Amino acid sequence: MNLLDVKNLHLNFNTEHQQTLSALRNVSFHLNMGETLGIVGESGSGKSLTNLAIMGLLPDNAKVMADQLTFEGRDLLSMNEAQKNQIRGKKISMIFQDPMSSLHPYLTIETQLTETMLAHLDISAKDASLHAIELLEKVGIKDPLKKLKTYPFELSGGMAQRVMIAMAISTQPKLLIADEPTTALDVTIQKQILDLLKELQIKNNMALMLVSHDLGLIAEYSERIQVMYAGEIVEARSKQDMLNKALHPYTEGLLKSRPTLYSDKSKAELYSISGIVPTLSNRPQGCQFAPRCHLKKDHCEKTSFAQTMHNKLSREQDIDKIAGHVFCLERTLRNEV
């Protein structure tokens, strides 16, 4: 049993015009204590929706279905709000992109830090404040006693994010989901925050889900990487394997189109993936990436990968292994996989 098990997660939205929009399809992955799973995706990939589905924070018109969505063996889908509240914030924590808008502007840091603790732990207000000071020290904030009484607007972006992290780990969660934690921060602060997350993960043996659009960032801090495109996982492998040879043309495109310090406009233009990500209401048939793919063949736009693979593979274990992973059909057929 894994800490977090997701099998064939589907997410649909019911819109006003009786339309059903498919936001996530066949998303499957697992996570264990001490592991860092990096999820890479651009806008429209569904990476944030996956996080919200796990946390149970989706809007009312969202319909979630999955073969399995369990945390510590308990089914997250069948829980009611009270049960979910037991887990949210206590065992599974999440930090978001812009710390300045995630912190309450009118409450002091102390109030916000102790709020989570008082809600989930059996602890007195005084002890909670003491613990808050410890937490601020742990996340590298100097002068924690003074900072307790300050308001969010008095903090810089980096410090505010550290406070968010302190809040998130205050209940010693088993799983921490970090959704674009450093996108709004300066580059030197980014490194500090990510190093801090890694350090805390090792100390507390937490599971960490690091979500970002920046493949370089994910590659540096994760052991396993999962690439999402248009609501599906298109590739999920260990970091080494993926960087050595990307299997899905989208991953390959992402890796190639990112400039490095060695890029130079006078030497070569940047590799770019043509076209744009399909919108929720305009999902193509067959392979989602086909319209932009340089390997595209006729069958890519007609059949779905899962179907073809089901026909190709006979063994249960193999089907299980590729369940929820949409590899490139063309490459699979060419036996390049």
The reply on whether position 273 binds another protein by CB under 8 A is: yes
Q: Does 262 bind another protein (CB under 8 A)?
A: yes
CB closer to another protein out of 191 and 331: 191
Does position 257 interact with another protein (CB under 8 A)? The reply is yes
In angstroms, what is the minimal distance from the CB of 244 to another protein? 15
Identity of the residue, 75 or 154, whose beta carbon is nearer to another protein in the bound complex: 154
Count the site residues for another protein by CB under 8 A.
36
Nearer to another protein, 259 or 336 (CB): 259
One residue of 63, 258, 312, 321 binding another protein per CB under 8 A: 258
- Binding residues for another protein restricted to 98-137, rule: CB under 8 A: none
In this structure, what token pair is assigned to residue 328?
């490139």
Q: Which one of 146, 261, 294, 316 is in contact with another protein (CB under 8 A)?
A: 261
Buried b (16+ CB within 10 A) or exposed e, 142-169: eebeebbeeebeebebbbbbbbbbbbbb
Q: Give residue 79's Cα distance to chain centre.
A: 22
Is residue 265 within the footprint of another protein (CB under 8 A)?
Answer: yes
Which listed residue (21, 62, 123, 219) binds another protein by CB under 8 A?
219
Distance CA 161, CA 185 (A): 9
Of positions 2, 111, 131, 271, contacts another protein by CB under 8 A: 271
Q: Write out the DSSP string of 81-108.
A: HHHHHHHBTTTEEEE-S-HHHHS-TTS-
Tell the smallest beta-carbon distance from residue 282 to another protein (Å).
12
Q: By CB under 8 A, what part of segment 40-59 binds another protein?
A: 42-43
Tell me 223's DSSP state. Answer: S
Q: What is the dihedral of CA 218, 235, 287, 177, to 10 degrees?
A: -50
Considering only 75, 134, 143, 186, the residue that binds another protein (CB under 8 A) is: 186
Query: Which one-letter amino acid corresponds to residue 51?
Result: N
- Is 157 a binding residue for another protein by CB under 8 A? The answer is yes
Taken in order 177, 222, 41, 17, the sign of the CA dihedral is: negative
Of the pair 34, 278, the CB lying nearest another protein is at: 278
Q: Does 61 bind another protein (CB under 8 A)?
A: no
- Which residue, chain included where needed, has tokens 């999920």? 236
Among 89, 253, 286, 324, binds another protein (CB under 8 A): 253
Q: Which among 278, 298, 275, 274 is positioned nearest to 288, based on CA atoms?
A: 278
In angstroms, the CA 48 to CA 121 distance is 28
Query: Exactly one of 188, 244, 311, 314 binds another protein (CB under 8 A); which one?
Result: 188
Is 155 an interacting residue with respect to another protein (CB under 8 A)? no
Q: Exposure pattern of 105-138 as b/e (b: 16+ CB <10 Å)?
A: eeebbbbbbbbbbeebeeeeeeebbebbbebbeb
Nearer residue to another protein within complex by CB, 124 or 272? 272
Q: Does 316 sit near another protein (CB under 8 A)?
A: no
Q: Interface with another protein by CB under 8 A: which range of 18-26, 50-58, 184-192, 326-334?
A: 184-192
The window from 89-97, 145-153, 167-175, 256-264 that contacts another protein (CB under 8 A) reads 256-264
Please answer whether residues 99 and 164 qualify as being in contact, where contact means their C-beta atoms are separated by less than 8 angstroms: yes
Return all residues near 178 (Cβ < 8 A) that are at least 6 apart: 94, 95, 197, 208, 209, 210, 211
Q: Which residues bind another protein (CB under 8 A)?
A: 42-43, 157, 186-191, 194, 213-217, 219-220, 253-254, 257-265, 269-274, 276-277
